[in-house]
Amino acid sequence: MEQKEAKVVLTIDYGTKKIGVCISETMTGHSKALPVVENNKNIFDDFDKIIADWLPNLCLIGVPSKASDEFLKSIKKFITEFEDKYRIKIVEAEEDFTSQAVANKKENEDFDSKSAELIFEGWFNQNYG
């Protein structure tokens, strides 16, 4: 059986107004929702702190299969800027239905970050489960 390398994973549920964020670890599969990041001109100040605090070596970004061209351009621009700034490997993960799954739960304080946790869980189960 192939030995999987342990990784600290930053998972992002990108939105044009708010960005859900969670940090996870592939050895245990545990994840922790972090405070939502506002998508504004200071976005990378928030990510600077997250990256410095958690030192992730992989970033998952949820990308919906059905989205407007405008949204896809926005997320691709974010991915390019993120890659250029942090030099962390980025994996695009399918994220259809994560927001709907979280919406069905009662705890919606960190709705977007809970969606990020579901994106990680889906990716983790496919790759490490």
Mean pLDDT in residue range 77-101: 84
Helices (H), 5-127: 43-54, 69-86, 98-103, 111-127
Query: Which tokens hold the place of 51?
Result: 């990256």
Mean pLDDT in residue range 83-109: 71
Position 81 scores a pLDDT of: 96
Going from the N-terminus, what domains does the chain have, and what CATH number goes with each? 8-127 (3.30.420.140)
Query: Are 62 and 116 in contact, with CB atoms under 8 Å apart?
Result: yes
What confidence category does residue 6 fall into, taking pLDDT thresholds of 50, 70 and 90?
confident
Q: Is the pLDDT of residue 63 over 70?
A: yes
The string of pLDDT tens digits covering residues 65-88 is 888 999 999 999 999 999 999 999
Q: Give the predicted TM-score (pTM) of the model.
A: 0.86
